[in-house]
């Protein structure tokens, strides 16, 4: 089977130990193979760069409870200590405190008590995200009283746990007095650099809370938004099944969700604001309920495309036009996929209406998945269409993830040839991405874990294990970068254990040419 080769700036890594290569007489089960891969990853951990060592441990602790819960706790302690020793890198996300926060987040998913114990090791003003995740984990375990108590006890200490507060407001009865304090706690401090969860919280819950509780929060949030520099260095496009909305300033984007509440509480001020911001007024007139009007009530239906230029950089009209075209393509794709649930053949015929080729591929993949269980022949035909289009898209930044998703659809359609083609072509695309990430003239200075080459490699290898089972680790044989081998090995183990993948998080920060 063809494999890929990465050019590496590091020493050649001893890829697989003897235990990774079982004899034909003792072919391992998927679970046994996964355990071998995880144990091998722990044994070779020190060959990776420091931040990747922590990232790998955080992936392993998600999988190791299946084998040894006690050792999982030990691995969390190991990860917390390793994070503290990581030297800061050029990426602001790679620092001991940020990595330790991630360890506590991982602990919250497998052992909330351990996560609470670790909180004491974090700076008080950096505990918000960890508290958020721990509280939601407690809520998942129906320990609602403890989740409320944890949230209340940490009110006003850094970034508030907004998602936990949202979940608790939804879970508690409408007449529970704790809802009032939880909502108020969300607005003790306001940090707008995190996106728009404050606005979303208000938009979702303002009708179920007393006006005297909501109005001060709206006023405080509005003052914070209006204090932002009104520069045009951000373009944001929101897309959902009911349309798309674009914003040419960060301030308009931040105001979009809150304006509906302001119209109810202070219509004169709302009118004055909108009169001064005609572009926002036009968008609000189309979607008076904010993003909820775009998503048909389901936030999972919303896609967000944001581009921010640095200070001193001018807006590129081509970027704005491309983002709007992408938004149109996303909206049309959502319409066609929705149609596919009712009339698959008509939906397939409408795919060429999507004005962006990689979105055509994404749509075809979704339609193939819809057809796979009931009409595998049609699913295979749709996979074939997607393959044909995807072969014409040469940019690995656009096609690597698509090949991984296409492999999924081919596996579901029982099209083994297309699945293997997608896996091998996807791996080749990852190799091209690795050359870009490690380019000496303009390297990717973002944290290595979020390099496109590493993220998409993991995605493709996950599908390789679904298609090829315990033999999938053969794809690692010619990869020479220890970081990629380590993260790829863990991803294969995840797939063999039948565990779902998390999201793909890409970060690219190019250095200036020398």
pLDDT one digit per residue (tens) for the chain, 514 residues: 444 434 333 333 333 343 445 445 688 999 999 999 999 999 999 999 999 999 999 999 999 998 999 999 999 999 999 999 988 765 566 788 889 999 999 999 889 999 999 998 888 888 888 999 999 999 999 999 999 999 988 887 778 889 999 999 999 999 999 999 999 999 988 877 655 689 889 988 999 999 999 999 999 999 999 988 766 566 777 777 777 788 888 888 889 888 889 999 999 999 999 999 999 999 999 888 887 777 766 666 677 766 655 454 555 667 667 777 887 888 889 889 989 999 999 999 999 999 999 999 999 999 999 999 999 999 999 999 999 999 999 999 999 999 999 999 999 999 999 999 999 999 999 999 999 999 988 999 888 999 999 999 999 999 999 999 999 999 999 899 999 999 999 999 999 999 999 878 888 887 665 5
Give 355's DSSP letter: S
User: What is the rounded CA–CA span in Å between residue 207 and residue 261?
Assistant: 9
User: What is the rounded CA–CA span in Å between residue 29 and residue 36?
Assistant: 11
Half-sphere exposure of 504 (CA within 13 A, CB side): 19
Secondary-structure breakdown of the chain: helix, strand, coil percentages, each rounded to the nearest 5: 65, 5, 30
Which of 169, 141, 142 shows the shortest CA–CA distance to 151?
A: 169
- Judge whether 109 and 137 are in contact, CB under 8 Å: yes
Q: Is the pTM of this model over 0.85?
A: no
Residues 142, 146, 150, 152, Cα dihedral to 10°: 100
- Tell me what pLDDT residue 214 has: 94
- Tell me what pLDDT residue 306 has: 65
- Tell me what pLDDT residue 320 has: 67
- Tell me what pLDDT residue 357 has: 95
Give 510's DSSP letter: B
Structure tokens that stand for 227 in this block: 């204090």
Please give the C-alpha separations between residue 316 and each of 320, 341, 412, in angstroms, as whole numbers: 7, 39, 41
Burial-class residue 232 by CB neighbours within 10 Å (0-12, 13-18, 19+): middle
- Tell me what pLDDT residue 292 has: 76
User: What is the rounded CA–CA span in Å between residue 259 and residue 250?
Assistant: 14
DSSP three-state, residue 390: helix
Residues 239, 243, 249, 251, Cα dihedral to 10°: -90
- Tell me what pLDDT residue 160 has: 87
Half-sphere exposure of 57 (CA within 13 A, CB side): 30
DSSP three-state, residue 6: coil
Please give the C-alpha separations between residue 436 and each of 366, 396, 475, in angstroms, as whole numbers: 29, 10, 21
User: What is the rounded CA–CA span in Å between residue 241 and residue 231?
Assistant: 30
User: What is the rounded CA–CA span in Å between residue 357 and residue 165?
Assistant: 40
- Calculate ∠ Cα 235-236-240, nearest 5°: 150
User: What is the rounded CA–CA span in Å between residue 201 and residue 459?
Assistant: 32
Chain CA centroid to CA 118, Å: 25
User: What is the rounded CA–CA span in Å between residue 63 and residue 202?
Assistant: 37
Domain ranges of the chain: 192-314
- Judge whether 492 and 461 are in contact, CB under 8 Å: yes
Neighbours of 10 (CB within 10 A): 14
- Judge whether 160 and 192 are in contact, CB under 8 Å: no
User: What is the rounded CA–CA span in Å between residue 374 and residue 9?
Assistant: 48
Chain CA centroid to CA 454, Å: 14
297 phi/psi in degrees, rounded to 5: 85, -5
- Tell me what pLDDT residue 411 has: 97
Cα first-last separation, the chain: 39
Please give the C-alpha separations between residue 284 and each of 175, 220, 222, 288, 383, in angstroms, as whole numbers: 32, 21, 16, 5, 39
């Amino acid at each position: 089977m063809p494999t890929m080769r990465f050019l590496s700036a590091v020493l050649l890594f001893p890829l697989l130990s003897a235990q990774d290569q079982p004899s034909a007489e003792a072919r391992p089960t998927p679970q046994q193979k996964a355990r071998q891969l995880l144990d091998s990853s722990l044994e070779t951990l020190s060959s990776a760069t420091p931040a990747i060592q922590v990232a790998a441990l955080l992936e392993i602790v998600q999988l190791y409870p299946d084998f040894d819960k006690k050792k999982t706790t030990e691995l969390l302690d190991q990860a917390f200590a390793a994070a503290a020793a990581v030297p800061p890198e050029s990426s602001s996300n790679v620092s001991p405190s940020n990595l330790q926060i991630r360890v506590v987040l991982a602990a919250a998913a497998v052992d909330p008590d351990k996560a609470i114990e670790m909180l004491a090791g974090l700076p008080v003003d950096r505990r918000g995200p960890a508290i958020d995740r721990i509280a939601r984990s407690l809520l998942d375990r129906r320990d609602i009283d403890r989740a409320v108590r944890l949230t209340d006890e940490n009110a006003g200490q850094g970034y508030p746990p907004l998602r936990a507060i949202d979940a608790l407001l939804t879970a508690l009865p409408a007449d529970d007095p704790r809802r009032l304090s939880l909502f108020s706690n969300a607005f003790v401090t306001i940090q707008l650099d995190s996106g728009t969860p404050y606005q979303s919280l208000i938009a979702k819950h303002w009708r179920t809370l007393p006006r005297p509780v909501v109005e001060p929060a709206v006023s405080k949030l509005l003052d914070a938004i209006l204090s932002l520099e009104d520069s045009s260095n951000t373009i944001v496009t929101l897309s959902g099944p009911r349309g798309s909305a674009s914003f040419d300033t960060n301030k308009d984007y931040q105001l979009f969700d809150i304006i509906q509440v302001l119209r109810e509480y202070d219509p004169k001020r709302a009118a004055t604001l909108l009169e001064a911001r005609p572009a926002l007024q036009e968008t609000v007139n189309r979607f008076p309920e904010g993003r909820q009007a775009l998503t048909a009530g389901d936030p999972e239906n919303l896609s967000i495309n944001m581009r921010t230029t640095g200070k001193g950089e001018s807006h590129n009209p081509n970027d704005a036009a491309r983002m709007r075209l992408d938004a149109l393509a996303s909206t049309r794709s959502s319409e066609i996929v929705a149609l596919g649930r009712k009339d698959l053949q008509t939906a397939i015929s409408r795919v060429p209406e999507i004005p962006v080729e990689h979105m055509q591929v994404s749509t075809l993949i979704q339609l193939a998945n819809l057809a796979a269980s009931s009409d595998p022949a049609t699913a295979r035909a749709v996979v074939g269409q997607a393959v044909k289009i995807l072969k014409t898209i040469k940019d690995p930044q656009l096609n690597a993830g698509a090949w991984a998703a296409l492999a999924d659809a081919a596996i579901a359609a029982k099209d083994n040839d297309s699945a293997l083609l997608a896996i091998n072509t996807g791996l080749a695309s990852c190799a091209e991405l690795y050359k870009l990430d490690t380019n000496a003239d303009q390297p990717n200075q973002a944290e290595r874990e979020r390099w496109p080459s590493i993220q998409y490699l993991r995605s493709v290898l996950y599908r390789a294990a679904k298609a090829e089972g315990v033999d999938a680790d053969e794809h690692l044989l010619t990869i020479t970068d220890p970081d990629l081998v380590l993260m790829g090995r863990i991803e294969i183990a995840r797939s063999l254990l039948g565990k779902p993948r998390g999201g793909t998080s890409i970060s690219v920060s190019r250095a200036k040419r020398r």
